[in-house]
Amino acid sequence: MMVVEQDIVIKNKLGLHARPASRFAQLACSFESDIKLMKNSIAVDGKSILEVLTLACPAGSHLKIIATGQDAKQAAEALGSLVASGFNECD
């Protein structure tokens, strides 16, 4: 089983609030791999908007994506670039 870890920093101003969290979870759900999102050694299910929300990640949070599964590499990359894009919050 492939495990891919990727460090990310939340860039968008509002942090992982409702809309970005739901986009993150939706994208995570499109992969087969198990997705964990980790902050300060607390890990939550990246496929659950509610768990992602309860992690409470404002702008500037340092997080780690841990993808486990066949498409782990693609999943980590896709989620990483979604976060890096700042969720296109300014649109």
> What is the spatial distance between Cα 69 and Cα 46, in angstroms, rounded to a whole number?
14
Within positions 7 to 36, which residues make up the interface with another protein, using CB under 8 A?
13-15, 17-19, 21-22, 25-26
Based on C-alpha coordinates, what's the Rg of the chain? 12
88 CB contacts (<8 Å, ≥6 apart)?
Answer: none
The residue within the footprint of another protein, chosen from 2, 58, 62, 84 (CB under 8 A), is: 58
Give me the residues paired with residue 6 across strands. 65
Torsion angles phi and psi, residue 62, rounded to 5: -95, 120
Query: Is 53 near another protein (CB under 8 A)?
Result: yes
Query: Is 67 near another protein (CB under 8 A)?
Result: no
Nearer Cβ to another protein, position 38 or 73? 38
Binding-site ranges for another protein (CB under 8 A): 13-15, 17-19, 21-22, 25-26, 45, 47-51, 53-54, 56, 58, 90
